[in-house]
Amino acid sequence: MTKSQKVMLTANDWAEAALDAIGRRGVEGVAVEPIARDLGVTKGSFYWHFPNREALLVAALQRWEARETDEVLDRVQQETDPRARVKRLITEVNTSKKASRIYSALSSATKPAFVRDYVERVSKRRLDFIIDSYAALGLSAENARRWALMTFSVFLGSLQIRRDLPDEWPNADEPAFAEYVRFLMVSLMPSELDAANNTPAPDVPEWPARSGSQGF
């Protein structure tokens, strides 16, 4: 147990610093020497703990996946009432810009192909959790899926709006935020009637098939 004044970094310290770099500079910003500078050491340290840069990315992604599933879902899952779950989910949008930046950076990353696997697993676990929450309200599988897709979209989109248009997003301490959350709760929560009437409306209207070049 060497732990003198020299601090002595661990592999987890490097992985955590890599996660931080993902949030601040993107996946491409996970560079050995810059992170070493952040940590106040040289890359001589890094190559003792890891064989190469890719291993660092994997370690960071594993930590991320563990945090974003086990810890967070366990925390939200303590909420027994499905309605309270959705509400907490919404309010969670306003916590930790850092975590949302990491999510966004990973979601748009392309270069190390395995990043997509981690993003897909985490996203699917989140969506499934929301589906289960709606199913617990008595919705059919199809309806629970529809509501969950919409709620998950609102969650993800809210993260992006808060990042791209911070001025347009109500601050958590303002009354406008509380009102907006209440508004979302009403909109994202099926009524008792919906839960009973579990089939979608039968008439499928037509809509114009878009032929434009690039989408909105």
Contacts (Cβ under 8 Å, ≥6 apart) of 132: 144
Residue 156 in contact with its own copies, rule: CB under 8 A: yes
* Minimum distance, C-beta of residue 97 to DNA, in the bound complex (Å): 24
Residue 205 in contact with DNA, rule: CB under 7 A: no
Residue 48 in contact with DNA, rule: CB under 7 A: yes
Instruction: Candidates 50-58, 84-92, 137-145, 190-198: pick the segment binding DNA (CB under 7 A).
Output: 50-58
Question: Counting Cβ atoms within 10 Å, is residue 60 exposed (0-12), middle (13-18) or buried (19+)?
Answer: buried
Please state the φ and ψ torsions of residue 124, each to the nearest 5 degrees: -65, -40
Helical spans, DSSP H, in the chain: 11-25, 32-39, 43-49, 53-66, 72-77, 82-91, 97-108, 114-135, 141-164, 175-188, 192-196
Which of positions 107-136 make contact with its own copies (CB under 8 A)? 107-111, 119-120, 123-124, 126-127
Please give the structure tokens belonging to residue 168. Answer: 């347009």
Q: How far is it, in rounded angstroms, from Cα 76 to Cα 113?
A: 30
Which of positions 54-83 make contact with DNA (CB under 7 A)? 54
| Residue 113 touches which member of its own copies, DNA, none, C-beta under 5-8 Å by kind | none
Contacts (Cβ under 8 Å, ≥6 apart) of 177: 94, 170, 171
| Residue 216 touches which member of DNA, its own copies, none, C-beta under 5-8 Å by kind | its own copies
Instruction: Kindly tell me which residue out of 38, 47, 77, 174 binds DNA, with binding defined by CB under 7 A.
Output: 47
- The answer to whether the CB of 132 falls within 8 A of the CB of 149 is no
Residue 89 in contact with its own copies, rule: CB under 8 A: yes
* Minimum distance, C-beta of residue 3 to DNA, in the bound complex (Å): 7
Instruction: Kindly tell me which residue out of 55, 72, 135, 195 binds its own copies, with binding defined by CB under 8 A.
Output: 72
Applying CB under 7 A, the residues found at the interface with DNA are 1-4, 6-10, 30-34, 36, 40-45, 47-49, 51-54
